[in-house]
């Protein structure tokens, strides 16, 4: 088990956002977390990456308890999140943004290899390499956010809404790349509102509602689950 | 109004203004660095500067050079200045980091509101100032004469003294070094990342606490450099020397666009020039009034300062 959340609760002030989330991600998997707006998907991601302190429960990663570990140290251990809203550093060039992904690494030769790999995955980034991140289109920023996360060579890649605001063709492309990244050996936990794409690509998935996990199963099985279909896939 | 003074004295007024402006710019960078990362006006920065003036003075005194000494040879003077710069930078840098660790970090840990930081900043400033006041008997101390006062350049009445030249050159070199550090190095990228998006920076593995300590340190080092040249320019220091100059350096940072490194340079130099020309035009009693009137008028038209806000952020 690479990542395990055990009965995690989290509050924003007096409002409880997570009501005892338990989930796990095994090495080599693509796991999707789907649910409506406000279900607590992004909050779960923030709990895993360490941006929000949890109020109860445990988080274990690669055998160690990381419940109270600082966010930057979780990155050093191999969790990297491409945040909701992409979090591109607007004043930095594409190259500098990618370098930020490798901030905690010192293996220069390997970083250069990963840079080449990312630029091969996303040829658009190579064309824009000297451009400030703030001047990229939404799709390009999403590619940059994913590419930047890969630059940390994470054991676990957390993707928060990678399809948000993208045209259908780009969504296809991003998910193909996620599959490709996974096949190259990176474990992926992806949060998505686009349940169709996420479920058809994921090995397993969790469905969230109002801070609870209400369903769990193989991605394809959930895709045909009547309740999931009705609620998230827009078909009755 | 003395237009003839301004016209006749223009070259020398420019030199004086740029020299004073370089000192403002060095201090302004400390405000701007911290603001860029924390959105905090570190009012204790004026005391960080003040500690530097004492650090250099005590070093010189300890080596036997006080206000009553004769002027040493040029070689000795340069050695003394270099040593003064190192000691003042270390003293100011350390003071700044201590302020961060003792005054601000505990507040951040408790998620204190911005106003708590502001009050703490003002409090820290008073504490440091009064500590030095108590330790030194609240009197003024003179500086040893170091550089010769005869001009190195004298063309048709336009004179540049060795001190003015040294101030300007060293300030530019130091600021260039800072700019290179922030733009080109890994730590510099870390600073810019935290300034632009602290949460995402943490996700990239940037230790925010370390970055914050680093910007306080950098600001302190620069204030120390400014302190040495201020010592030599005015020939004295006292426990409350930081108050007015700190306020003006802060104004210079706002003028250039607080949070913007190059803005601090532009704002500092501009403020120095305005003061210099203004005091020739209206008399030196009006220097401070003119400086702040210009600040207010300029901010009416450019509320984010001349070069705009934010550390290293290119406006898209």
Residue with tokens 């959930």: A222
**Cβ of residue B247 closer than 8 Å to a chain A Cβ:** no
Q: What is the ipTM of this complex?
A: 0.91
A185 dihedral zone (left: phi>0; alpha: psi -120 to 50; beta) = left
In angstroms, rounded to a whole number, what is the distance separating the alpha carbons of residues B216 and B210?
10
Q: Tell me: the pLDDT tens digits for B262-292? A: 999 999 999 999 999 999 999 989 989 988 8
Q: Which of B37, B108, B113, B204 to mutate to test the interface with A (most CBs of A within 10 A)?
A: B204
A234 dihedral zone (left: phi>0; alpha: psi -120 to 50; beta) = left
CATH class of B3-313: mainly alpha
**Cβ of residue B155 closer than 8 Å to a chain A Cβ:** no
pLDDT band at A167 (very low <50, low <70, confident <90, very high): confident
pLDDT at A34 over 90: yes
Q: Tell me: the pLDDT tens digits for B11-69? A: 999 999 999 999 999 999 999 999 999 999 999 999 999 999 999 999 999 999 999 99
HEC string of B99-122?
HHHHHHHHHHHCCCCHHHHHHHHH
pLDDT band at B309 (very low <50, low <70, confident <90, very high): low
Q: Which two tokens stand for residue B198?
A: 């602290």
Q: Which of A50, A71, A75 to mutate to test the interface with B (most CBs of B within 10 A)?
A: A71
* Per-residue confidence (pLDDT) for residue B314, from 0 to 100: 40
Q: Which of B186, B193, B203, B259 to mutate to test the interface with A (most CBs of A within 10 A)?
A: B203
Residues of A in CB contact (< 8 Å) with B are 49-51, 70-73, 75-76, 80-81, 83, 87, 89-92, 96, 99-101, 103-104, 132, 134-135, 148, 152
Closest Cα in chain A, distance from residue B311 (Å): 9
* Per-residue confidence (pLDDT) for residue B141, from 0 to 100: 97
B202/A70 touch (CB, cutoff 8 Å), yes or no: yes
Contacts 24+ apart (CB under 8 A), A13-17: A16/A55, A16/A211, A17/A43, A17/A211
**Mean of pLDDT values over A167-195:** 90
pLDDT at A235 over 60: no
């Amino acid at each position: 088990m690479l990542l395990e959340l055990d009965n995690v609760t989290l509050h924003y002030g007096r409002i409880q956002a997570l009501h005892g989330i338990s989930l796990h991600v095994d090495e080599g998997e693509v796991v999707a977390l789907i649910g409506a707006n406000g279900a607590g998907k992004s909050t779960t991601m923030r709990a895993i990456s360490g941006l929000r302190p949890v109020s109860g429960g445990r988080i274990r990663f690669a055998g160690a308890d990381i419940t109270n570990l600082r966010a930057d140290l979780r990155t050093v251990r191999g969790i990297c999140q491409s945040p909701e809203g992409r979090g591109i550093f607007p004043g930095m060039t594409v190259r500098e943004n990618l370098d930020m992904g490798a901030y905690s690494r010192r293996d220069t030769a390997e970083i250069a290899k990963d840079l080449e790999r990312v630029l091969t995955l996303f040829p658009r980034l190579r064309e824009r390499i000297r451009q400030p991140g703030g001047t990229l289109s939404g799709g390009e920023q999403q590619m940059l956010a994913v590419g930047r996360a890969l630059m940390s060579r994470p054991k676990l890649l957390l993707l928060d809404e990678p399809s948000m605001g993208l045209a259908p063709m780009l969504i296809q492309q991003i998910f193909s790349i996620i599959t490709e990244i996974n096949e190259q050996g990176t474990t992926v936990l992806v949060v998505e509102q686009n349940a169709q794409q996420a479920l058809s690509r994921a090995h397993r998935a969790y469905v969230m509602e109002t801070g609870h996990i209400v369903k769990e199963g193989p991605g394809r099985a959930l895709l045909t689950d009547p309740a999931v279909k009705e609620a998230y896939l827009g078909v009755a | 109004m003395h237009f003839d003074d301004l016209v006749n004295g223009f070259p020398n007024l420019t030199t004086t203004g740029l020299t004073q402006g370089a000192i403002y710019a060095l201090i302004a960078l400390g405000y701007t660095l911290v603001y860029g990362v924390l959105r905090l006006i570190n009012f204790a920065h004026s005391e960080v500067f003040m500690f530097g003036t004492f650090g250099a003075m005590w070093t010189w005194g300890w080596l036997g050079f006080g206000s009553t000494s004769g002027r040493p040879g040029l070689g000795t003077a340069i050695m003394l200045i270099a040593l003064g710069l190192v000691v003042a930078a270390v003293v100011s840098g350390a003071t700044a980091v201590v302020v961060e660790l003792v005054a601000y970090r505990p507040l951040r840990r408790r998620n204190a509101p911005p106003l708590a930081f502001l009050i703490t900043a003002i409090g820290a400033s008073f504490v440091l100032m009064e500590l030095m006041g108590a330790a030194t008997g609240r009197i003024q101390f003179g500086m040893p004469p170091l550089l010769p006062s005869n001009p190195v350049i004298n063309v048709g009445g336009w004179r540049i003294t060795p001190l003015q030249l040294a101030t300007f050159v060293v300030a530019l070199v130091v600021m260039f070094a800072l700019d290179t550090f922030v733009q080109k190095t890994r730590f510099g990228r870390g600073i810019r990342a935290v300034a632009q998006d602290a949460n995402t920076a943490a996700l990239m593995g940037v230790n925010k606490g370390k970055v914050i300590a680093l910007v306080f340190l950098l600001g302190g080092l620069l204030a120390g450099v400014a302190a040495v040249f201020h010592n030599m320019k005015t020939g004295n220091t006292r426990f409350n020397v930081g108050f007015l100059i700190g306020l003006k350096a802060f104004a210079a940072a706002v003028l250039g666009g607080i949070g913007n490194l190059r803005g601090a340079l532009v704002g500092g130099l501009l403020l120095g020039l305005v003061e210099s020309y203004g005091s020739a035009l209206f008399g030196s009693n009006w220097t401070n009034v003119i400086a702040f009137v210009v600040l207010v008028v300029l901010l009416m038209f450019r509320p984010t300062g001349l070069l705009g806000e934010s550390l290293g952020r290119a406006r898209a």
